[in-house]
Structure 1
Amino acid sequence: MQLDTREFRAEAKFQRVSPQKARLVLDLIKGRGVEEALNTVAFTKKAVAPLVEKVLRSALQNANYLSQEQGLDVDVDNLYVKNAIANEGPRMKRIRPAPMGRAYRYQRRLAHIVISVAERKQDGLVQTVDAEASAAAKPAKKKAPVKKAAAKKTATKKPAAKKSPAKKAAKK
């Protein structure tokens, strides 16, 4: 029997932050548990972090509310950030005065921030096995000795050794 996991989401549209800057914070929390994600966002020193935290808390409240309304059994402690994206919204075209009567055009970017949380799948068939029992069940294979091919070395000339004083005296 395959149970379909529910996904709960929250959106913040038309936010005055560029999507690129919002993605920096959203990438930090993707795939993390909700508790850990909230802690991460709380200590992130980006201007968009409080906004991301607000959207994440909203998604968490949506999960809590919908689980009560629909009679679902959702463990809030078991939720994780399944998806966190920042889509581009409409751009505001602006003009900045420039020298000699000219004008520079620039664009103020807006972002739509979407965060969805879901419950982690739990397998009820988790088995714990002792290390000794698993070692006894699987006999250890002996590794065959690996033969290394001997590399041919080129003969190097040895410098002529100095004769010791005892040999010099024996020659005379």
Structure 2
Amino acid sequence: MEAVAKLKNYPTSPRKMRLLADLVRGMQVDKALAVLEHNPKHPAVPLAKLVKSAIYNWKAKNEGEDESALVIKTVMVDGARVLKRMRPAPQGRGYRVRKRSNHVTVIVDTK
């Protein structure tokens, strides 16, 4: 029985979040949490919280079962809204700055 947790509109680029998602995909949850805890990248904190949320969702569905065999089955990182801003540029022009955000979905399941 699998469990899902979602994080929506987190304000970092999907490319940066995918680096961490690729790192923990397919790992056991305790190893994944240890890797995320010691990773210096700033999206590691919300991703670790999301994995913990998926674990708690799995516990709520499967009361009394052992969670030691849980594996991160799927991690999807999708682009979300983009805030468009202008930055001053030479000769009276303006350069567009695209502040990206992302949606993350984590699915945990037993082996």
TM-score by length of 2: 0.95
Residue-pair matches, total? 111
Stretches of 4+ aligned residues off by more than 4 angstroms: none
Bigger fraction of residues in strand: 2
> Percent same amino acid at aligned positions?
32
1:83-108: CA deviations, max 9, x gaps?
01210101111111112221111211
Question: What is the identity, as a one-letter code, of the residue corresponding to 1:27?
Answer: D
Question: Which of these residues, 27, 32, 43, is aligned with residue 38 of structure 2?
Answer: 43
Q: Kindly report the root-mean-square deviation, in angstroms, between the aligned alpha carbons of the 2 structures.
A: 1.0
* CA positional deviation for 1:41: 0.6
Structure index of larger Rg? 1
User: Hey, what's the Cα distance between the residues in 2 that align with 1:8 and 1:90?
Assistant: 26
The alignment's TM-score, normalised by the length of structure 1, stands at 0.62
User: Residue 75 of structure 1: SS of its match in structure 2?
Assistant: coil
Which letter does structure 2 place at the counterpart of 1:114?
Answer: T
The answer on 1:57 being equivalent to 2:58 is: no
What CA distance in whole angstroms lies between the structure 2 residues aligned with 1:119 and 1:75? Answer: 9
Larger RCO (alpha carbons 8 Å, 6+ apart): 2
Residue matched to 2:16: 21
Checking the alignment, whether the CA contact within 8 Å between 1:12 and 1:113 is kept in structure 2 is: yes
CA distance in structure 2 between the aligned counterparts of 1:81 and 1:20, rounded to whole angstroms:
20
Structure 2: 5+ residue stretches without partners: none
Aligned residue for 2:79?
88
Q: Distance in 2 between matches of 1:86 and 1:114?
A: 7
3-state DSSP class of the match of 2:74? strand
